[in-house]
């Protein structure tokens, strides 16, 4: 876990695009907020490996959003139940359930449906917020931290050489 966090800080301080890191956070949020063994999570996982996102950030985001998902499970279940019980959507759910792919997707489970809806709604806000925060971090926090004597002495230490070797510089 410490190595993963170090890789996250390496990503924040690297030349990686803020969008690459932000999409990793947003994709990790989808898997983290929804039940793990779902068909849509397999699609998101394949997508994360196919497109160019920072995988260390993806896995950290997945872990952090999993903790949030556990805390919000009741809310997700309530949302899913209300969507599944809407009379105006009964025909829609019935027609979807007749398709084998949607049976495998488990959208008839209240928690799966509610958490997927919330994670898809929050995908773009999480992406934009992450881009904004990463850019602010790089502009202000990183520049401020680099001015400290402690940081300058750490850059001269063996710890920094390990950091350099992990970052590939």
Q: Where are the domains of the chain?
A: 2-71+122-167
Among 7-16, 35-44, 61-70, the least confident range: 7-16
Asked if residue 86 lies in contact with residue 40, where contact means CB atoms within 8 angstroms, the answer is no
Q: Looking at residue 52, what is its pLDDT?
A: 85
138 pLDDT tier (thresholds 50, 70, 90)? confident
CB half-sphere exposure, 167, CA atoms < 13 A: 18
Residue 72 has pLDDT above 70, yes or no: yes
Q: Looking at residue 168, what is its pLDDT?
A: 61
Asked if residue 56 lies in contact with residue 89, where contact means CB atoms within 8 angstroms, the answer is no
Q: Looking at residue 13, what is its pLDDT?
A: 66
Residue 67 has pLDDT above 60, yes or no: yes
SS3 43: helix
Residue range 93-137, pLDDT digits in tens: 999 989 988 888 999 899 999 999 999 999 999 999 999 999 998
Task: Measure the CA–CA gap between 47 and 41, rounded to whole angstroms.
Answer: 10
Task: Measure the CA–CA gap between 58 and 69, rounded to whole angstroms.
Answer: 16
Return the closest-CA partner of residue 9 out of 41, 51, 57: 57
Q: CA 117, 34, 61, 101 torsion: positive or negative?
A: negative
Q: Looking at residue 86, what is its pLDDT?
A: 95
Task: Measure the CA–CA gap between 90 and 108, rounded to whole angstroms.
Answer: 11
Task: Measure the CA–CA gap between 22 and 58, rounded to whole angstroms.
Answer: 9
Residue 69 has pLDDT above 90, yes or no: yes
Alpha helices in the chain (DSSP H): 2-13, 18-33, 39-50, 55-71, 73-84, 90-97, 100-105, 110-121, 123-136, 142-145, 149-155, 158-167
Among 8-22, 71-85, 123-137, the least confident range: 8-22
Say what the pTM is. Answer: 0.81
Average pLDDT in the 6-10 region?
68
Q: Looking at residue 5, what is its pLDDT?
A: 67
Chain-wide mean pLDDT for the chain? 87
Task: Measure the CA–CA gap between 125 and 74, rounded to whole angstroms.
Answer: 22
């Amino acid at each position: 876990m410490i190595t993963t966090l170090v890789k996250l800080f390496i990503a924040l301080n690297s030349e990686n695009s803020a969008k690459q890191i932000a999409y990793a956070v947003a994709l990790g949020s989808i898997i983290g907020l929804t039940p793990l063994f779902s068909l849509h999570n397999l699609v998101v996982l394949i997508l994360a490996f196919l497109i160019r996102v920072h995988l260390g950030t993806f896995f950290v985001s997945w872990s952090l959003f999993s903790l949030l998902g556990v805390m919000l499970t009741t809310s997700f279940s309530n949302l899913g139940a209300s969507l599944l019980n809407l009379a105006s959507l009964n025909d829609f759910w019935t027609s979807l359930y007749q398709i084998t792919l949607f049976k495998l997707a488990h959208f008839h489970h209240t928690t799966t449906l509610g958490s997927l809806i919330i994670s898809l709604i929050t995908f773009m806000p999480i992406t934009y917020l992450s881009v904004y925060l990463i850019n602010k971090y790089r502009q202000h926090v990183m520049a401020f931290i680099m001015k400290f004597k402690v940081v300058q002495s750490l850059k001269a230490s063996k710890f920094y050489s390990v950091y350099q070797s992990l970052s590939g510089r």
